[in-house]
Amino acid sequence: MFVKKDLIQVQDWINNSKNIIITAHKSPDGDSIGSSLALHYFLKNLGIESTVCHPDKMPYFLSWIEGTNDILTYEQNKEEVIDKMASADLIFCLDYNTPFRIGKMTQHLLDSTAKKVMIDHHQDPNTEFVDILFSDPKNSSTCQLIYEFIESLGQLEHIDNLVAVPMYTGIMTDTGSFRFPSTTAKTHNIVGHLINNGLNTSAIHENTFDTNSLSKLKLNGYAISEKLVIMPNEKVAYISLSSQELKDFNYTKGDTEGLVNRALGVNGIKMAAFFKEDDGYVKISFRGKGENHVNLLANENFEGGGHIYAAGGKFDGKLEDAIAKYVTVVEKYVK
């Protein structure tokens, strides 16, 4: 995967670049934030500066991670991000497989003359716009890939706590706290190495998962008790929340993270979806298990994609129409 020739090339670009930018997908999650900051601090430990530029703000439950305040977003720092991208000589593309996953930053990325290096674990990467691709769809997370990248460079001694904390956070969130089938012995060995070097993992779990606001808890309780629908086939479940309902519970970004997994967790359920109404469109999360893959469902019907067991997409129109479409098409994908 990390071919020697490519590693030598990337190391050379790292050493000789003046303006290194680290990008990751929109609607940030633990893995996109974690991989960006892990790479940023690793480069810093080599004496090399870089800037993390993301399309939009991250959810508050990750804001405790050192360095998150320094992340520039197109949403909040548009001019600065555009300038940085225009003058970049090396751009890392982390945790996304197509330029369209960075929203309004896409055109700036495509227009940039910088060398582009993708490190990602999503299916079917679009390789046309990158110079070097490190893609491993079987890998648990981009954070695990960042570790393996650093390991392949022979630079593990440059992983200190500032690198290890975001790295562990991304591995933890993308594996559903080490539950999903993508979690391998290698994943645990990597974490073992981080722990041997002093990483406090329980503090990371606590900071990430035990800082819920009361309104978040109530929103999730309401969604499960009032809005969970099991389809007549008893294999598919979904939850939907309208913008009014979100408003009623003082919704802030990140409050519904993981909610779709509650629907998937019902005994006998093979596929689940969560519909969230936004301004003029509906954002959807898809989950599956066993033989029930959701990436094709997302791609063929909802302009999206992702992994076989976790994917996302959107629907332009009303919430009820998005649900109606899902209910119609899902039968084709569930086994």
Between 81 and 146, CB nearer to Mn ion: 146
Instruction: State the nearest-atom distance from the C-beta of 309 to ligand 5GP, in Å.
Output: 9
* Per-residue contact string for residues 279-298; x = within reach of ligand 5GP by CB under 6 A: ------x-------------
Q: Output DSSP code: residue 210.
A: S
Find the binder of ligand 5GP among 34, 125, 254, 304 (CB under 6 A): 304
Find the binder of Mn ion among 74, 95, 150, 304 (CB under 5 A): 95
* Structure-token pair, residue 38: 């892990």
Between 7 and 296, CB nearer to ligand 5GP: 296
Q: Give the separation between CA 329 and CA 197, rounded to whole angstroms.
A: 49
Going edge to edge, which strands form the sheet with 115-120? Answer: 72-73, 51-54, 20-24, 90-94, 115-120, 132-135
31 binds Mn ion per the rule CB under 5 A: yes
A 10 A CB-CB count for 295 gives 24
Binding partner of 254, given ligand 5GP, Mn ion, none, CB within 5-8 angstroms per partner class: none
Closest to 26 (Cα-Cα) out of 293, 283, 302: 283
Between 197 and 299, CB nearer to ligand 5GP: 299
- The sign of the dihedral angle between the CA atoms of 129, 122, 330, 239 is negative
Q: Which of residues 94-123 bind ligand 5GP (CB under 6 A)?
A: 101
Instruction: State the nearest-atom distance from the C-beta of 71 to Mn ion, in Å.
Output: 17
Amino acid in the structure at residue 238? Y
Footprint of ligand 5GP (CB under 6 A): 25, 27, 101, 285, 304-307, 310-314
